[in-house]
Structure 1
Amino acid sequence: MAQLHDSSRVTTNQWACPTRGWVKLNMDGAVSRNSSFASIGRVFRCADGQWLGGFSVQLGNVSIFKIEVRALLEGLLISWRIGYQQLEVECDNALLVELILAGGAVDSHLTEMCLIHHLLSRNWKVLVHHIPRSQNTVADHMAKWMAANSTEIHWFKEPSQSAISLIEGIMFLL
């Protein structure tokens, strides 16, 4: 069963590497101002901050909360399939994090929330944290890039050039 924890750590306004042996998943949703279509972006990185992969997909016209829920669900599914056993999830949607940590996914009428609960009940360690938006810039960039440019699912083995610039800036500050 997943171990859910909300970190009470002191946070700064920058992204931080996960603990050695853990993988960090940052996720975010975005809505295009031009088309009102929503998309999600997710980024996986290891303890030294190196890119393990990223994923973006456009979802259509849905609420921002449902976008964030879908981003978490897809991120957990991918993490489980890849075989990550220790996952630190960071999300800038405080309501979603609060619902997950309080067990609200169990009784939810949203199918995706029930699926999240099911995934979290598997045999792995998952830490869930709320973070300020300023710590989620790469995932936010991935989601916004997708919203503006494509309707297909994209898996990024390597970060895009624009994401590399953001990552290098973050790593310089660490």
Structure 2
Amino acid sequence: MKLEVDGSYRQEEGVIWGGGLLRDHTCKWITDFMFQEKGGSSFCVEAKALRDGLRLAWDRGFRRLICASDNQELVRILSAPGNIQDQVHDGVVREIHEVLNGDWQVDLSWCRREGIAAADWLARNGSMLPVPEFRIVKFLPPELEVLLLRDSLWIR
């Protein structure tokens, strides 16, 4: 399974939104999600998107997962050995570590934004949701089909 996540924020409005999607081993769409809430930073929204995507994958019963994020700092912090309490963003990072410590295999990697265009689209469209809201999408939005194909062809 593959999880791709992204997030966006508007500091002047104090609102963050994010999203992500799950694909199977053939890159076929399984489900996606988006959310919007008040408060946070660009790092925070990326971390929350990853946390929520991991929880969704776990709840769906997936136990082998490849995660892609375009946030190098997040990937670095989660990949570094050591005490997460020393990290600046330790609240959400700690929650992600708790999810990652489940009985499953998760490989986290950084990728360029161009490689997760579908997740970026979901994050931006999370801005259309009421505040706060988390929504799991049950049907593939037609606008995502071309982006999913492009992402599956992207060489990272």
TM bracket (short chain) = 0.7 to 0.9
Find runs of 4+ consecutive structure 1 residues off by over 6 angstroms.
Answer: none
Shift of 1:169: 3.9
Q: 2:92 aligns with which of 108, 112, 119?
A: 112
What is the alpha-carbon distance in structure 2 between the residues aligned to residue 158 and residue 114 of structure 1? 32
> Greater strand percent: which structure?
2
Q: 1:97 aligns with which of 75, 80, 84?
A: 75
Query: CA separation of 1:105/1:91 partners in 2, compared to 1, >3 Å: closer, same or farther?
Result: farther
Q: Give the superposed CA RMSD.
A: 2.2
3-state DSSP of counterpart to 2:46: helix
Query: CA separation of 1:173/1:110 partners in 2, compared to 1, >3 Å: closer, same or farther?
Result: closer
TM-score by length of 1: 0.78
Query: CA separation of 1:114/1:38 partners in 2, compared to 1, >3 Å: closer, same or farther?
Result: same
Q: Are residue 30 (structure 1) and residue 8 (structure 2) matched?
A: yes
What is the alpha-carbon distance in structure 1 between the residues aligned to residue 153 and residue 45 of structure 2? 31
3-state DSSP of counterpart to 1:48: coil
Q: Are residue 157 (structure 1) and residue 131 (structure 2) matched?
A: no
Query: CA separation of 1:172/1:27 partners in 2, compared to 1, >3 Å: closer, same or farther?
Result: closer
> Greater helix percent: which structure?
2
Query: Structure 1: any 5+ residue segments left out of the alignment?
Result: 1-22
Shift of 1:146: 1.3
Query: CA separation of 1:64/1:165 partners in 2, compared to 1, >3 Å: closer, same or farther?
Result: same
TM-score by length of 2: 0.86
1:92–1:132 CA contact under 8 A, matched in 2: yes
Structure 1 match to 2:105 = 125
Structure 2 match to 1:61 = 39
Structure 2 match to 1:83 = 61
1:105–1:117 CA contact under 8 A, matched in 2: no
